[in-house]
Amino acid sequence: MEHIINKIDKDSLKPGDHIYAYRKLHTYSHHGIFIGGDRVIHYNRTKDGNTSQRAKPSKNCGVDKNHLRGVVKSCVDCFLKHHTLRRFQYGVGYGRYLTNWPGTNNGFGDYNLFENNCEAFAMFCKTEKRVSDQACSAMLLIKASVKVAMDRLLRES
Protein backbone atom coordinates (compact mmCIF):
# COMPACT_ATOMS: atom_id res chain seq x y z
CA MET A 1 0.00 0.00 0.00
CA GLU A 2 2.88 2.40 0.73
CA HIS A 3 3.87 2.16 -2.94
CA ILE A 4 0.44 3.27 -4.10
CA ILE A 5 0.18 6.33 -1.86
CA ASN A 6 3.78 7.56 -2.41
CA LYS A 7 4.47 8.05 1.32
CA ILE A 8 8.17 8.68 2.09
CA ASP A 9 10.33 9.85 4.96
CA LYS A 10 12.46 13.00 4.96
CA ASP A 11 15.71 11.01 4.88
CA SER A 12 14.91 9.67 1.39
CA LEU A 13 14.47 13.14 -0.17
CA LYS A 14 16.77 14.15 -3.02
CA PRO A 15 17.15 17.64 -4.51
CA GLY A 16 14.68 18.04 -7.36
CA ASP A 17 12.03 15.74 -5.88
CA HIS A 18 8.46 16.85 -6.54
CA ILE A 19 6.82 16.40 -3.14
CA TYR A 20 3.33 16.92 -1.80
CA ALA A 21 1.13 16.54 1.25
CA TYR A 22 -2.62 15.98 1.37
CA ARG A 23 -4.62 18.56 3.31
CA LYS A 24 -8.13 18.76 4.77
CA LEU A 25 -9.07 15.06 4.76
CA HIS A 26 -7.48 14.44 1.34
CA THR A 27 -9.68 17.04 -0.39
CA TYR A 28 -6.60 18.61 -1.98
CA SER A 29 -2.82 18.38 -1.92
CA HIS A 30 -0.06 20.98 -1.59
CA HIS A 31 2.94 20.53 -3.94
CA GLY A 32 6.53 21.75 -3.97
CA ILE A 33 10.08 20.96 -5.09
CA PHE A 34 12.68 19.82 -2.56
CA ILE A 35 15.92 21.76 -3.20
CA GLY A 36 18.13 20.19 -0.52
CA GLY A 37 19.28 21.43 2.87
CA ASP A 38 15.80 20.85 4.38
CA ARG A 39 14.31 23.48 2.01
CA VAL A 40 11.35 23.37 -0.35
CA ILE A 41 10.19 25.89 -2.95
CA HIS A 42 6.44 26.00 -3.32
CA TYR A 43 3.67 28.26 -4.50
CA ASN A 44 1.14 29.73 -2.05
CA ARG A 45 -1.88 31.92 -2.42
CA THR A 46 -1.07 35.48 -3.41
CA LYS A 47 -4.04 37.22 -1.79
CA ASP A 48 -4.37 37.81 1.96
CA GLY A 49 -5.72 34.74 3.72
CA ASN A 50 -7.18 34.27 7.16
CA THR A 51 -5.13 36.50 9.47
CA SER A 52 -7.26 35.81 12.56
CA GLN A 53 -5.02 32.82 13.39
CA ARG A 54 -1.57 34.41 13.61
CA ALA A 55 1.32 31.91 13.55
CA LYS A 56 4.75 32.53 15.06
CA PRO A 57 7.74 32.51 12.71
CA SER A 58 9.24 29.05 12.22
CA LYS A 59 11.93 28.10 14.73
CA ASN A 60 13.57 25.89 12.09
CA CYS A 61 13.84 28.23 9.10
CA GLY A 62 12.72 31.62 10.41
CA VAL A 63 9.98 31.97 7.80
CA ASP A 64 7.08 34.16 8.85
CA LYS A 65 4.17 31.86 7.98
CA ASN A 66 1.74 34.81 8.10
CA HIS A 67 3.35 36.34 5.03
CA LEU A 68 3.99 33.35 2.75
CA ARG A 69 2.71 34.61 -0.60
CA GLY A 70 3.56 33.54 -4.15
CA VAL A 71 6.66 31.41 -4.78
CA VAL A 72 8.40 30.88 -1.44
CA LYS A 73 11.24 28.88 0.11
CA SER A 74 10.67 27.26 3.49
CA CYS A 75 11.79 24.25 5.51
CA VAL A 76 10.16 20.88 4.89
CA ASP A 77 8.26 21.05 8.19
CA CYS A 78 6.67 24.41 7.32
CA PHE A 79 5.72 22.99 3.91
CA LEU A 80 4.15 19.88 5.46
CA LYS A 81 2.25 21.63 8.29
CA HIS A 82 2.16 18.34 10.23
CA HIS A 83 0.91 16.31 7.25
CA THR A 84 2.49 13.21 5.70
CA LEU A 85 5.30 13.68 3.17
CA ARG A 86 4.79 12.09 -0.26
CA ARG A 87 6.85 11.98 -3.48
CA PHE A 88 5.11 12.55 -6.82
CA GLN A 89 5.83 9.79 -9.33
CA TYR A 90 6.29 10.53 -13.02
CA GLY A 91 6.02 8.06 -15.89
CA VAL A 92 3.58 5.66 -14.26
CA GLY A 93 0.98 3.70 -16.20
CA TYR A 94 -2.61 4.89 -16.49
CA GLY A 95 -3.88 2.15 -14.13
CA ARG A 96 -1.36 3.21 -11.49
CA TYR A 97 -2.31 6.85 -12.03
CA LEU A 98 -5.99 6.08 -11.42
CA THR A 99 -5.21 4.53 -8.01
CA ASN A 100 -3.90 7.85 -6.66
CA TRP A 101 -6.09 10.26 -4.79
CA PRO A 102 -6.97 13.23 -7.04
CA GLY A 103 -4.54 15.82 -6.40
CA THR A 104 -1.44 22.69 -10.57
CA ASN A 105 5.83 30.38 -17.25
CA ASN A 106 8.29 31.88 -15.32
CA GLY A 107 6.18 34.54 -13.57
CA PHE A 108 3.43 32.67 -11.78
CA GLY A 109 1.28 35.70 -11.06
CA ASP A 110 -1.78 35.49 -8.83
CA TYR A 111 -2.75 32.17 -7.30
CA ASN A 112 -5.83 30.60 -8.85
CA LEU A 113 -7.19 27.32 -7.52
CA PHE A 114 -8.10 25.99 -10.98
CA GLU A 115 -5.49 27.53 -13.29
CA ASN A 116 -2.43 28.65 -11.33
CA ASN A 117 -1.79 26.63 -8.18
CA CYS A 118 0.98 24.82 -6.28
CA GLU A 119 0.65 21.60 -8.30
CA ALA A 120 0.94 23.52 -11.59
CA PHE A 121 4.05 25.25 -10.20
CA ALA A 122 5.74 21.98 -9.17
CA MET A 123 4.80 20.28 -12.47
CA PHE A 124 6.21 23.25 -14.37
CA CYS A 125 9.48 23.07 -12.43
CA LYS A 126 9.88 19.41 -13.39
CA THR A 127 8.36 19.26 -16.91
CA GLU A 128 7.98 22.86 -18.18
CA LYS A 129 4.26 22.11 -18.53
CA ARG A 130 1.78 23.86 -16.27
CA VAL A 131 -0.90 21.30 -15.39
CA SER A 132 -2.86 20.39 -12.29
CA ASP A 133 -4.48 16.99 -12.11
CA GLN A 134 -6.44 17.90 -8.99
CA ALA A 135 -7.79 21.07 -10.65
CA CYS A 136 -8.81 19.06 -13.74
CA SER A 137 -10.56 16.51 -11.52
CA ALA A 138 -12.39 19.28 -9.64
CA MET A 139 -13.51 20.92 -12.90
CA LEU A 140 -14.83 17.58 -14.21
CA LEU A 141 -16.74 17.05 -10.97
CA ILE A 142 -18.24 20.55 -11.17
CA LYS A 143 -19.24 20.05 -14.82
CA ALA A 144 -20.83 16.67 -14.02
CA SER A 145 -22.74 18.19 -11.10
CA VAL A 146 -24.05 21.03 -13.27
CA LYS A 147 -25.12 18.54 -15.97
CA VAL A 148 -27.00 16.40 -13.42
CA ALA A 149 -28.74 19.50 -12.03
CA MET A 150 -29.68 20.74 -15.51
CA ASP A 151 -31.02 17.32 -16.52
CA ARG A 152 -33.10 17.21 -13.34
CA LEU A 153 -34.50 20.70 -14.02
CA LEU A 154 -35.38 19.77 -17.61
CA ARG A 155 -37.18 16.59 -16.51
CA GLU A 156 -39.20 18.53 -13.93
CA SER A 157 -40.37 21.21 -16.36
Helix/strand/coil for 68:
coil
Report the run of H or E that residue 131 belongs to, with start and end. Answer: none
Q: Which of 61, 78, 118, 125 is catalytic?
A: 118
Contact residues for 62 (Cβ-Cβ < 8 A; gap 6+):
none
Q: Which of 31, 42, 78, 125 is catalytic?
A: 42
The beta-strand segments (E) located in the chain are: 18-23, 28-36, 39-44, 70-75, 86-87
Is 30 among the residues known to form the active site?
yes
**Cα angle for residues 27, 32, 35 (degrees, 5° grid):** 155
**Cα distance between residue 102 and residue 35, in whole Å:** 25
Q: Which of 30, 31, 78, 125 is catalytic?
A: 30
Is 83 among the residues known to form the active site?
no
Is 118 among the residues known to form the active site?
yes
Catalytic residues: 30, 42, 118
